[in-house]
Amino acid sequence: MSNPWNTRPPRPPRPPGSPPDRRRPPRAQDERPPRVQSAGGERPADVSREELRLYGLNAVQAVFARRPDAIRKLYLLEARIPALKPLLAWCVKHRVGYRVVEEGDLDRLAASTHHEGVVADVLKLAPSPMTDWLRALPEGQPAAALWLDGVGNPHNFGAILRSAAHFGVAGILLPRDSTLALSGAAARVAEGGAEQVPLVRMGNPENALAQLRGAGFALAATVVRGGDDLFAARLPQRLIYVMGAEGEGMDARLADACDLRLSIPGSGAVESLNVAAATAVFLAQWKQKA
């Protein structure tokens, strides 16, 4: 049975003979949180376009650690109360509604069974313009970033974010017309990495290439075959790995415009690695040599 929204401690009992309480009555104890429209990725009716519905313990904890003011609503299982006590105390202090619900409620809210006992509605973070991102980078310091060319699977995107956070990637670059955006599924797979790595929106591709090279970056096309052996190549300290789409790979014209072409050597038993797995290998090698 779900509880009403909680934003403050319970009120003390009123003294006998006091006038009737004219305040609005509390919600019914058996009231359920709004249901999502479907499990097919539609935006829930109770989430605004400026908000994102996150789920997963580490994903929600990461938002609380870095930008708690972004949290708008919280739903959780009773079993999660001990792990989320600091967050719940913050919600009470700042009058942010939270509700203890049942497993089925979270399944519907998240449109997933992989919610790990907590769901939160949070304000979205818009990607930064690339000019602002470049200006904020420490001058003369090693840096790696990822240019995602056609990557669209949310689970792959989440795994890429997780690896990027692990290896200290400076940013993930999104083409001007890319529809790739953080989702609840991607944030859960990222295990908190979505709050650690900034998303950056590029402009015109030719201008983006010029800006990146002007900031000291070299660009490496990551290709299945025909590239230099990643483990034998000399990697620059400032490097942009261009990662292609899961099926067709990266755009051939973009690959031709890059400074390097790199491949991961393997046994040949399979054609290639999944884009998220390949990203982790490329980043690990850069981290070792940077």
In this structure, CATH architecture of domain 128-289: 3-Layer(aba) Sandwich (3.40)
Residues near 28 by beta carbon (within 8 Å), at least 6 away in sequence:
4
d(CA 105, CA 87) in angstroms, rounded, equals 20
Q: What is the pLDDT of residue 256?
A: 94
List every span in the chain annotated with CATH 3.30.1330.30.
1-124
Which residue ranges of the chain lie beneath pLDDT 50? 1-4, 10, 20-43, 45
Sheet strand arrangement including 97-100: 51-55, 118-123, 71-76, 97-100
pTM to 2 decimal places: 0.83
Q: What is the pLDDT of residue 195?
A: 97
Residue 10: Cβ within 10 Å count: 6
d(CA 278, CA 256) in angstroms, rounded, equals 20
d(CA 160, CA 172) in angstroms, rounded, equals 9
Q: What is the pLDDT of residue 36?
A: 38
Q: What is the pLDDT of residue 243?
A: 96
The torsion angles phi and psi of 19, rounded to 5 degrees, stand at -65, 160
List every span in the chain annotated with CATH 3.40.1280.10.
128-289
Q: What is the pLDDT of residue 249?
A: 75
> Per the structure block, which two tokens stand in for 144?
């790696």
> Per the structure block, which two tokens stand in for 37?
């429209």
Q: What is the pLDDT of residue 233?
A: 96
For the chain, the C-alpha Rg in angstroms (whole number) is 23
Residues near 20 by beta carbon (within 8 Å), at least 6 away in sequence:
none
Residue of 251, 253, 250, 256 lying closest to 282 (CA atoms): 250
- Decide if domain 1-124 falls under CATH 3.50.50.60: no
Q: What is the pLDDT of residue 31?
A: 40
